């Protein structure tokens, strides 16, 4: 079975109602990203950071996967599919994708500030004074700017095994995630779907300048036909 790796960014969830941040001048829902998504921001104003993620969590629970998330699931009928997402939402899982790696963490999880391996599901508000079993404050299970990306080696290994790489809705500005494209085997077919693509077409690269809800279902239909 051929292996398709799907690398997604904030753009795939835009049409579900979750804003990207590059599209809004580097602001994330009106906030400077360094204030709400960096260890320095956390040190400076823990309450504000918790409040920000509480709002994101509440919003996530009101939105639904869109046709792009759903189309990716259909690929599983004929391909081995690995989704590697920069997103912290759970829309791929809710759509039904069975193999999802989150590079930057998950909004519906929190972890101990004492032991980063102490991770737990969390769907409600997280407040100052919510402690782990060792009596340390819990924080969002999200990779902030300037922090290590522990899942990167796992994602790189998955990408190396791709026969086809589909990249959707990412500005490819956030590293190391953007470097994943360099891990494909020579000759791997790459499709890039984004209304404002940041890479150019090449012998192995097809650029589809469309919104995810249009470009992804079309490409999936083509890829499902190829194998019949």
Residues that are catalytic: 104
Q: Which stretch binds ligand NAD (CB under 6 A): 84-92, 132-140, 152-160, 220-228?
A: 84-92
Binding of ligand NAD at residue 159 (CB under 6 A)?
A: no
Quote the least distance from Cβ 125 to ligand NAD, whole Å. Answer: 18
Binding residue count for ligand NAD, defined by CB under 6 A: 27
Out of 98, 173, 206, 227, point to the residue binding ligand NAD (CB under 6 A): 173
Mind spelling out the 3-state secondary structure of the chain? Answer: CCEEEEEECCHHHHCCCCCCCHHHCCEECCEEHHHHCCHHHHHHCHHHHHHHHHHHHHHHCCCCCCHHHHHHHHHHHCCEEEEEECCCCCHHHHHCCCCEEECCEEEEEEEECCCCCCEEECCCCCCCCCECCCCCEEEEEECCCCCCCCCHHHHHHHHHCCCEEEEECCCCCCCCHHHHHHHCCCCCEEEEECCCCCCCCECCEEEECCCHHHHHHHHHHHHHHHCC
Q: Which stretch binds ligand NAD (CB under 6 A): 4-12, 74-82, 110-118, 200-208?
A: 4-12
Out of 6, 18, 110, 180, point to the residue binding ligand NAD (CB under 6 A): 18
Binding of ligand NAD at residue 171 (CB under 6 A)?
A: yes
> Smaller CB distance to ligand NAD: residue 151 or 224?
151
């Amino acid at each position: 079975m051929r292996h398709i790796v799907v690398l997604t960014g904030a753009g795939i969830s835009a049409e579900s109602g979750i804003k990207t941040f590059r599209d809004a001048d580097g602001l994330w829902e009106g906030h400077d990203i360094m204030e709400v998504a960096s260890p320095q921001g956390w040190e400076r104003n823990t309450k504000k950071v918790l409040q920000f993620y509480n709002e994101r969590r509440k919003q996530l629970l009101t939105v639904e996967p869109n046709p792009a998330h759903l189309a990716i699931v259909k690929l599983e009928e004929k391909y081995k599919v690995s989704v590697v997402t920069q997103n912290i939402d759970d829309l791929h899982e809710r759509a039904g994708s069975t193999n999802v790696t989150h590079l930057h963490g998950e909004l519906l999880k929190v972890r101990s500030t004492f032991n980063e391996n102490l991770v737990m599901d969390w769907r409600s508000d997280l407040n100052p004074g919510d402690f782990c079993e060792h009596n340390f404050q819990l924080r969002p299970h999200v990779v902030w700017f300037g922090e290590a990306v522990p899942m990167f080696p796992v994602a790189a290994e998955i990408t190396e095994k791709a026969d086809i790489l589909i990249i959707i809705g990412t500005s490819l500005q956030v590293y190391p995630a953007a470097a994943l494209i360099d891990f494909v085997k020579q000759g791997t077919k790459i499709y890039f779907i984004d209304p404002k693509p940041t890479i150019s077409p090449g012998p192995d690269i097809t650029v589809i300048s469309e919104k995810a809800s249009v470009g992804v279902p079309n490409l999936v239909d083509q890829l499902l036909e190829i194998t019949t």
